[in-house]
Amino acid sequence: MEAPLPPRESAEFVAVRSQDVFVEKGGVDRVAEMLLEKVPGREFGLGGWKSLHELNPQATDEDAVNWVFVVDTLNFSFWSEQEDRKCAVKYRSKTYSGYWALCAAVNRALDEGIPLTRASFYATVTLDQLQHILHSDTDVPMPLIEERHQILNETGKILLEKFGGSFLNCVRKSDKSAQKLLSLVVESFPSYRDVAVYQGKRISFYKRAQILVADTWCVLEGKGDGCFNDISSITMFADYRLPQVLAHLGAIRYSDELLKKLLKGEMFLSGDKQEVEIRGCSVWCVELIRDRLLELSEEKGVKICVEINSVLLDYYLWDYARDHREDMKGIPFHRIRCIYY
Ligand SMILES: Nc1nc2c(c(CN[C@H]3C=C[C@H](O)[C@@H]3O)cn2[C@@H]2O[C@H](COP(=O)(O)O)[C@@H](O)[C@H]2O)c(=O)[nH]1
């Protein structure tokens, strides 16, 4: 079977054919202008991954790389049915929800002496053990716990068989290429194969695989094994938050029919035409924002000291969405339960 189109080409393929989601040029330009002022700020650089997020590992060692691998293997589907009733994890006197609840639970386990980042542990961890490890401090459990259990066992076994139990060995096989690491991850670990068929074409988003490459780049601070010469070829990560914030900022727009479904909270399935269009147009939108941002910095002579790539744009926009949850209340995100994002 032919390989799917890579994520960037997939996004363009979808965006030019999309019937229910539209990239808005005016919105793209406005977001690029907004970001141009932020670019010199520290929240825009690679260092923000550590300095802005206390739950992320601060080290650059093998344990830190394996922390990233376990977290990104479980990095999917945190949204709750009701905004005011959700999974939450207390850690070091702070309460975390959503994706950060996962990170807090992982760190809580490590503090308890549970070797959760060791492949030999999670290859055989039981469902009961995992329910304890990921337990919520509210009466709402983390979604898809059974799927998380199955994926951890499968991924741990493969990491032991193929990479000596450490994701750093996988990174070292990628010759400092983000694209090679991306391919190695999707070839080796089935749960990372985030693909679809759109208008007869096999396409890929590889959301968790791409964020794994990006988080590895950041945890290694872009140096040594993490000095990826092609990190700028990684696209934005097609999750359910970025479309919401891009719609909030007017950079993408939904058809009336799709907006009605979203406002009703209708569930989507992985690979649905409209779900693919939401993801594809969002990825393509961020590519266009990046292009416009680089153009603007030329036109206005704004010296950009950090590398502007879709990874850093994504991180900034995701954090922006987190910080503007209230403002975004009226903008729906598409509801889906899957292991890909
Ligand atoms: N596009 C994109 N999607 C991201 C992330 C992250 C975490 N990255 C952080 C870690 C270090 C960096 O500094 C980032 O700040 C999680 N997700 C996705 O969001 C959803 C969870 O959302 P909520 O329910 O609100 O917690 C879920 O699909 C999850 O897979 C990102 O960065 N970009």
User: What's the pLDDT tens digit per position in 245-277?
Assistant: 999 999 999 999 999 999 999 999 999 999 999
For residue 340, is it within any domain? no
Look at residue 1 and tell me if it is in a domain. no
Residues 6+ apart with CB under 8 A from 198: 10, 13, 14, 17, 273, 276, 277, 280
Radius of gyration of the chain measured on its C-alpha atoms: 19
Give yes or no for residue 319 CB within 6 A of ligand 1: yes
- Of the chain, the percentage scoring pLDDT greater than 90 comes to 93
Check whether 304 has a pLDDT greater than 90.
no
99 lines ligand 1 (CB under 6 A): yes
Ligand 1: which residue has its CA nearest to atom 5? 318
Give 269-292 pLDDT, tens digit per residue: 999 999 999 999 999 999 999 999
pLDDT at 305 over 90: no
Q: From atom 2 of ligand 1, which residue's Cα is the shortest distance away?
A: 237
Q: Does the residue 57 lie in any domain?
A: yes
Listed in sequence order, the residues at least 6 apart from 38 whose beta carbon sits closer than 8 Å to its beta carbon are: 44, 316
Give the mean pLDDT of 137-156: 98
Q: Name residue, tokens 């403002």.
A: 327
Confidence label for 105 from pLDDT (cuts 50, 70 and 90): very high
Identify whether 2 is part of a domain: no
Amino acid at the residue 100: W
Q: Does the pLDDT of residue 233 top 70, yes or no? A: yes
Q: Is 47 in the pocket of ligand 1 (CB under 6 A)?
A: no
Provide the number of structural domains found in the chain: 1
Residue 44: pLDDT band by 50, 70, 90 thresholds? confident
pLDDT in tens, 112-126: 999 999 999 999 999
Q: Which of 206, 260, 215, 262 is nearest to 238 (CA)?
A: 206
Atom of ligand 1 lying closest to residue 239 CA? 28
pLDDT at 267: 98
Per the domain annotation, does 48 fall within a domain? yes
pLDDT of residue 42: 60
Indicate the average pLDDT of the chain: 96
Whether 339 is in a domain gets the answer no
Residue 304 is assigned to a structural domain of this protein = yes
Question: Per-residue pLDDT for 41 more than 70?
Answer: no
Q: What crossing angle do the helices spanning 241-248 and 273-300 adopt, rounded to 10°?
A: 60
Q: Is the CB of 49 under 6 A from ligand 1?
A: yes
Q: Whose CA is nearest to atom 29 of ligand 1?
A: 76
Which residues does the annotation mark as catalytic? 239
Q: Which atom of ligand 1 is nearest to the CA of 101?
A: 26
Residue of the nearest CA to atom 23 in ligand 1? Answer: 98
Q: Which range of residues forms the domain containing residue 215?
A: 7-328
With a 6 Å cutoff on the Cβ, whether 192 touches ligand 1 is: no
**Residue 320: inside a domain, yes or no?**
yes
Element (H, E) at 95: strand 94-97
> Is residue 241 in contact with ligand 1, taking CB distance under 6 Å?
yes
For the cut 70, the answer to whether the pLDDT of residue 160 exceeds it is yes
